[in-house]
Structure 1
Amino acid sequence: MYYNVITIIIKQEADEDELPNDELPEWKREPSKVDMSKLDTSDPENLLKATKKGKTLMMFASVSGNPTQEETEKITQIWAGSLFNANMETQRYVVSENRVIFMLKDGSMAWEVKDFLVNQDRCEEVTIEGKSYPGKGASKDKKENQPSKKKDSDSKKDDKKTKKKDKSKEKSGSSDKKDSKKKNTEKTEL
């Protein structure tokens, strides 16, 4: 009987100790709902911002030049301090001589952090969700290889136009072949 009373009390305490949603670990939290009707689907960055809100996100940054691990530590520590002063909480982990990971508790802030980092003189590159953004310290080759949004959309339009032209040529070419086959069969019959 004594054992049953204790288990009942423990169960009651456990029910009372439920944590609010924002204090739960991320994997136990209820995901935030995104209203897709209010989002501009033509801008993929805005979609990612909305879907990453409240979720942990890791982004990579590379320091330009050929820094030692100590130099990378000092430079990125300054960056992290500046981000902290701008109310952007990050955790920084140096993973190699010129590469660091910035971990954000709120993934929607990643693009603001990216905007700050790419404007730093010693930032070579920032990578978020597999997409690389060249920084001020990037070599000219890397900056040239990054297509701008306008150029990229123009090339997509050009690709669509050439595909349409190719399809129309194929259609006309196939009808020409049919006509030539008819003529050849008519000649052989005569």
Structure 2
Amino acid sequence: MKGVFVMFFIFSVAIFVNCKKYKDGEKPDWAKKDIRDYSDADMERLLDQWDEDDEPLEEDELPEHLRPMPKIDLSHMNPEKPEELLQLSKKGRTLMTFVQVSGNPSRDETEDLTKLWQSSLWNSHIQAERYLVDDNRAIFLFKDGSQAWIAKDFLTSQDRCESVTIESKVYPGKNQKETVKSEL
């Protein structure tokens, strides 16, 4: 209830300030309404007016989907390594990587292994958040997607890593068993 009162107070002050901009005879129809009668469109209009005076955000403060894509210099790219281009295009972008633990581990064992791998990555200045999605599978979330390929090299060299998946491409682990996938 306290939150509703605070919200009501904030909107009342905002309306009061916006209504002061107009002389009594010049108010638009929506500004003459009682705040309790405001529609969603009126609230959106009020929010737009409120945001008019705000300074534009810096590039690094923008939400990720509004940031410009990084500029990629293709002059010294090796055409035989398309992963380098993909790695450069993910710089500064969030990227999820799926890591599969080999064998038949329990959830606790997977938790311990992936926690150890995450700590090792952090010690190498590769920031990754870790989320378990299954008893033998975890997601490593990289805020800077270009770090995912460096982490992939580390993870696939671990004894218990079965595979790492980045951008739908599966990279086998060091001791991955040869498995035959049957098609249905």
Partner SS, residue 138 of structure 2: strand
Residue 177 of structure 1: aligned partner? none
Query: Whose Rg is larger?
Result: 1
CA RMSD of aligned residues (A): 2.5
Q: What is the identity, as a one-letter code, of the residue corresponding to 2:59?
A: N
Contact 1:41/1:47, CA 8 A, preserved across alignment: no
Question: Structure 1 residue 24: deviation in Å?
Answer: 1.6
Residue 74 of structure 1: aligned partner? 112
Residue 108 of structure 1: aligned partner? 146
- Counterpart Cα distance in 2 of 1:78 and 1:20: 36
From 56, 67, 92, give the equivalent of 2:130.
92
Q: For residues 112 and 4 of structure 1, do their structure 2 counterparts lie closer, same or farther at Cα, with a shift above 3 Å needed?
A: same
From 103, 108, 124, give the equivalent of 2:162.
124
1:100-140 Cα distance to aligned partner (Å, 9 max, x none): 1111111111110001101111111111112211112312x
| Unmatched 5+ stretches in structure 1 | 146-190
- Counterpart Cα distance in 2 of 1:58 and 1:11: 33
- Counterpart Cα distance in 2 of 1:45 and 1:75: 27
- Counterpart Cα distance in 2 of 1:59 and 1:51: 16
Question: Structure 1 residue 38: deviation in Å?
Answer: 3.4
Q: What is the identity, as a one-letter code, of the residue corresponding to 2:21?
A: V
Q: What is the identity, as a one-letter code, of the residue corresponding to 2:114?
A: T
Question: Structure 1 residue 29: deviation in Å?
Answer: 0.9
| Unmatched 5+ stretches in structure 2 | 1-15, 23-45
Structure 1 length normalisation: TM-score?
0.66
- Counterpart Cα distance in 1 of 2:66 and 2:20: 30
Contact 1:59/1:126, CA 8 A, preserved across alignment: yes
Structure 2 length normalisation: TM-score?
0.68
- Could you say which structure has the higher helix fraction? 1
How many aligned residue pairs are there?
140
